[in-house]
């Protein structure tokens, strides 16, 4: 067991964990931030997507020992200053069905929009291809991202 200094949603914490503990468990079980979901646990589905230094990152395959002194942002941190334009568009387009994958979808989409404020539809589809939605909300996801584009 080691001590790690981590920064989540703008606040710093020291936690005790084994070096290979997935960041997803730190977020959900230690920090009690349950908006980030466990899907496949293997880096394939995108349900666990958070931002690590602004980049969309799969927290299920990211270990605690690799994230010290990096900025971790979860879906809870995204709303600290109110809904983003993307989240507003997500609501207006009524994107979710069961909702399970949606925080990962939003975190992936937000990171993409932060780097590409005016993306093409094709670029959106290409970027979001790694985030799986079993309800098939893909058309509404694309619509919401286009709506939030500048
Ligand atoms: Fe992390 Fe599926 S739970 S990618």
pLDDT at residue 1 is higher than 90: no
Please work out whether the CB of residue 48 comes within 6 Å of at least one atom of ligand 1. Answer: yes
44 lines ligand 1 (CB under 6 A): yes
Whether the predicted model's global pTM rises above the 0.90 cut: yes
Contact 51, 103 (CB under 8 A): no
CA 58 to ligand 1 centroid distance, Å = 6
State yes or no: pLDDT of 42 exceeds 90. Answer: yes
Beta carbons within 8 Å of 32's beta carbon, 6+ residues apart: none
The fraction of the chain above a pLDDT of 70, given in percent, is 100
User: Do 118 and 55 have their domain in common?
Assistant: no
- Our answer on whether the CB atom of 46 is closer than 6 Å to any ligand 1 atom is yes
Domain boundary among 30, 49, 78: 78
Return the ligand 1 atom nearest residue 39 CA.
3
Mutation test of ligand 1: which of 56, 104, 107 has the most ligand atoms closer than 8 Å to its C-beta? 104
60 CB within 6 A, ligand 1: yes
CATH value at residue 49: 3.10.20.30
Asked if 97 and 66 sit in the same domain, the reply is no
Mean of the per-residue pLDDT values of the chain: 97
Q: How many domains, the chain? A: 2
- Encode pLDDT of 54-110 as tens digits: 999 999 999 999 999 999 999 999 988 899 999 999 999 999 999 999 999 999 999
Task: Let me know whether 103 and 134 are in one domain.
Answer: yes
53 and 119 together in one domain: no
Identify the domain boundary among 50, 78, 106. Answer: 78
Nearest residue (CA) to ligand 1, atom 4: 43
pLDDT computed for residue 60 by the predictor: 98
Count of CB atoms situated within 10 Å of the CB of 83: 12
Domain co-membership, 10 together with 56: yes
What is the arithmetic mean of pLDDT over 29-53?
A: 98
CATH number for position 134 = 1.10.150.120
Angle, in degrees to the nearest 10, between helices 121-128 and 102-115: 130
Residue 46's nearest CA partner among 56, 35, 34 is 56
The answer to whether residues 93 and 66 belong to one domain is no
Residue 113 sits in which domain range?
85-148
**One domain for residues 114 and 130:** yes
Q: Give the Cα separation of 9 and 78 in Å (integer).
A: 8
Q: Are residues 96 and 61 in the same domain?
A: no
- Joined together, the tokens standing for residue 137 give 């909300």
């Amino acid at each position: 067991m080691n001590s790690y200094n981590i920064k989540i949603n703008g606040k710093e914490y020291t936690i005790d964990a084994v070096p290979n503990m997935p960041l997803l468990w730190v977020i959900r079980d230690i920090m009690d931030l349950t908006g980030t979901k466990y899907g496949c646990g293997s880096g394939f589905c995108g349900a666990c997507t958070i931002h690590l230094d602004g980049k969309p990152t799969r927290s299920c395959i990211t270990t605690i020992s690799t994230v010290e002194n990096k900025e971790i942002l979860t879906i809870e941190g995204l709303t600290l200053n109110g809904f983003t334009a993307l989240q507003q568009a997500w609501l207006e387009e009524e994107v979710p069905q069961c909702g399970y994958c949606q925080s990962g979808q939003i975190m992936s989409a937000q990171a993409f929009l932060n780097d590409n404020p005016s993306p093409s539809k094709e670029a959106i589809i290409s970027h979001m291809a790694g985030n799986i939605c079993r309800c098939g909300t893909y058309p509404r996801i694309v619509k919401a991202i286009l709506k939030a584009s500048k």
